[in-house]
Amino acid sequence: MSKAKVAVLISGRGSNMAALLYAAKAGTCPYEIVLVAANDPDAAGLTLAAAEGIATFGQSHKGIKRAEFDAIIDAQLRKAGAQFVALAGYMRLLSPEFVGKWAGRMLNIHPSLLPKYKGLDTHQRAMDAGDSHAGCSVHVVTAELDDGPVLGQTPVAILPGDTIDTLAARILIAEHQLYSRTLADFVMRERTPDYLLDRVRALALALPQVDEVTSHGMPCFGIEKGKKFAYFTQDHHGDGVLAIIVKTSAPEEQAMLIENDPDLFYRPAYFGTAGWVGIRLDGDEVDWDHIAERLARSWRTVAPRKLTGLMDAADAF
């Protein structure tokens, strides 16, 4: 499986970017850095990234409206083929449009134990409060500043005699460890069987009168007390494949799909000649709209007329 493509946004030094970049050099790292972009063409991190052979983009945001500047950055991310964005000391508030476009695909590292001390001066605020520990957090970026689900945290003890600089330097060590590990887990998350089954289950159970049973050891979806229209298969009989198996309209459609895209579709063993087709979920990226459509079509092949008639009426609106 190919590595997830990550773009990193920085504003200055870029030491977290460097940590991500060097972690990515390990063969086992599930992500690669495809772009480092900055809102300052003189950001030191850009020089380092370029020297390491990574594509860079630097442009000042000054004089450009926030949403327009974010659109420029977004265009660069798309051009680089980025699938995920890692903010690493990117000191710009993001427009809601940009956050929306990268919803669930953008992480940030923040030097505090969130939800404590959002915003600036985090180290000073932790010391002023007399906290025993400061630390760092990696979280999913949402519209609110330094908000969004926390994916990982490292507490860092505050020592007697610490200054902002000594504490910040120690937290930075923790940041460098935490970010690459958390990012690696995050890009892998959507490839795990549990995640894939959850997504399939949500789509299948959203169709009318569907229930889930286990059949031949596989999670299986059917019309309540009726026929089955989808199976979730994970390494069945040791075939190493993660896929859903759904019904096509006829064996001819099954054959056509497999011929047109043999990497995505396959003919499942033990499913006879009734036109069942396997759709792999273990490729680089799953097209969930396509999976939803295939599940709905498969559902239609087994649903009683009374139900498909209701769906037709709803679709006509």
Q: Does 58 bind ligand GAR (CB under 6 A)?
A: no
Q: Does 152 bind ligand GAR (CB under 6 A)?
A: no
Q: How far is the CB of 127 from ligand GAR (least distance, A)?
A: 15
Q: How many CA atoms lie within 13 A of 304 on its CB side?
A: 7
Among 5, 7, 8, 12, binds ligand GAR (CB under 6 A): 12
Please identify, among the stretches 12-20, 31-39, 53-61, 197-205, the one whose residues bind ligand GAR according to the rule CB under 6 A.
Answer: 12-20
Q: Does 109 bind ligand GAR (CB under 6 A)?
A: yes
Q: CA-to-CA distance for 183 and 178, rounded, in angstroms?
A: 8
Token code pair at residue 27: 């063969």
Q: CA-to-CA distance for 90 and 208, rounded, in angstroms?
A: 45
Q: Does 89 bind ligand GAR (CB under 6 A)?
A: yes
Among 30, 58, 111, 148, binds ligand GAR (CB under 6 A): 111
Angle at 292 between CA 289 and CA 295, to 5 degrees: 150
* Residue number with CB closer to ligand GAR (177 or 209): 177
Q: Does 13 bind ligand GAR (CB under 6 A)?
A: yes
Query: CB-based contacts of 223: which residues, under 8 Å, 6+ apart?
Result: 209, 210, 211, 229, 299, 302, 303, 304, 307
Among 14, 135, 222, 275, binds ligand GAR (CB under 6 A): 14
Residue 110 annotated in active site: yes
Among 175, 180, 187, 257, binds ligand GAR (CB under 6 A): 175
| Positions 16 through 55 that interact with ligand GAR (CB under 6 A) | 16
Q: How many CA atoms lie within 13 A of 76 on its CB side?
A: 22
Q: CA-to-CA distance for 168 and 174, rounded, in angstroms?
A: 10
- By beta-carbon distance, which residue lies closest to ligand GAR? 89
> Given the structure tokens 């087994």, which residue do they identify?
302
Q: How far is the CB of 64 from ligand GAR (least distance, A)?
A: 21
Q: CA-to-CA distance for 245 and 268, rounded, in angstroms?
A: 7
- Give the strand pairing for 150-157 and 228-234: unpaired
Just list the catalytic residues: 110
Residues forming contacts to ligand GAR in the complex (CB under 6 A) are 10, 12-16, 88-89, 109-111, 146, 172, 175
